[in-house]
Structure 1
Amino acid sequence: MNAVAEHTLHLDAKVRKDAQNRLLSAKGHLESILKMLEGEPYCVDVLKQISAVQGALSKVGDIVLRSHLEHHVASAAQRGDTDKLVDELMEVLKYR
């Protein structure tokens, strides 16, 4: 069996749980914004909630990227898929 088949490229369970919790928090902030917009909210209050959602999403992106770098990119040479992972990473970084 080759190294690629032995090494699964999936998001670690702890990271998934952390990401889920942060996304649930972002969802709560987003629902708050929608509820606020049903009334006549103060602009600054809406902007604060938007900032909270953006921060939560950014943090999720950071923890998923860190996990990817630590667990997949760092071992790419051993698996022999360095070029593929570098290409994937360059694609992802276009959106950050």
Structure 2
Amino acid sequence: MSKKAVQGATHHLCMPVESRKQAARRLAIAKGHLESIQKMLDDPEIYCIDVLRQLKAVQGALSRAGEVVLRGHLEAHVTTAHERGDQGRIVEELMEALKYH
């Protein structure tokens, strides 16, 4: 990564690498559950409750991905806002993020 890209990443508050990896893992789990549901629906004998159970698993995986991203934002950006002098902007971003959680 170039020096300019590193400076830009710091300035623009990119998602922390570990949060990105954890969220990607959670989304892969959700994708697996979704693919399972699609296959289940091809079976005319599938029991509705089994489909509902898998749908709940997808919702849980997506929710956990959101939690990982939010935690990464809190740890990497909100806790350091004072040092950067952008507390007001970070508070507004946090309020916006909480709408989606």
Identity within the alignment, %: 57
What is the deviation of 1:95? 2.2
Which residue is equivalent to 1:16? 20
In structure 2, distance between residues paired with 1:42 and 1:71:
44
Q: How does 1:2-41 map to 2 (within 5 A)?
A: 8=10, 9-40=13-44, 41=46
Q: TM-score, normalised by structure 2?
A: 0.83
Q: Which runs of 5+ in 2 are unaligned?
A: 1-6
Cα gap change, 1:32/1:65 in structure 2, threshold over 3 Å: closer, same or farther? Answer: same
- Give matches, 1:69-84, under 5 Å: 69-84=74-89
Runs of 4+ in 1 over 2 A off after TM superposition: none
Q: State the partner residue of 1:67.
A: 72
Stretches of structure 1 lacking an aligned partner (at least 5 in a row)? none
